Amino acid sequence: MKLFESLRIALGALLSNKMRAALTMLGIIIGVGAVIGMLALGNGFQGFLTSQFAQLGVGNFYVAPFVDTNRVDIARAARLSSQDAAALTAPGRAPAVAAVAIEYSGNAQIVAGSDRFTFSVRAVNPDFWIVSPQDLGAAGC
């Protein structure tokens, strides 16, 4: 009996204060929606980062020369060579190294008649597909 009496009093209060009830419901709806939206955004971003790190591969690391352009002329800067990569894969040198991928990227200009096009070009050795398995179209080549 007390439950029905409580429901009757609550309904009477809601009907007599319609604006207050509507604003309270609106506040609750906005708050719950904001919490759900932030959770969905956080989970989506976490999934994106996880997939990006998974593409790098577990146990892979990347080596590139650092050139301080304020101190060194970039044309005379030291570069890594294919001999450096061969030294890493030499038997007994680094037993944990399974493969070394060499990559060179730059821009190339194509001229056809009076038209000029500039493309980004990546050159890789065959071990690239071992270190970074992916489809040729997805590699950006």
- Is the pTM value of this prediction over 0.75? no
Encode pLDDT of 82-141 as tens digits: 788 888 788 888 787 778 888 888 888 989 889 999 988 888 888 888 777 677 665 554
Q: 3-state secondary structure string, the chain?
A: CHHHHHHHHHHHHHHHCHHHHHHHHHHHHHHHHHHHHHHHHHHHHHHHHHHHHHHHCCCCCCCCCCCCCCCCCHHHCCCCCHHHHHHHHCCCCCCCCCCCCCEEEEEEEEEECCEEEEEEEEEECCCHHHHCCCCCCCCCC
Residue 75 one-letter amino acid: A
Look at residue 96 in the predicted model and tell me its pLDDT.
Answer: 78
Q: Are 119 and 110 a contacting pair, CB within 8 Å?
A: yes
Percent of the chain at pLDDT exceeding 70: 82
Encode pLDDT of 43-99 as tens digits: 999 999 888 877 776 677 777 777 666 765 665 666 777 788 888 788 888 787 778
* Mean pLDDT (the chain, rounded): 82
Look at residue 118 in the predicted model and tell me its pLDDT.
Answer: 92
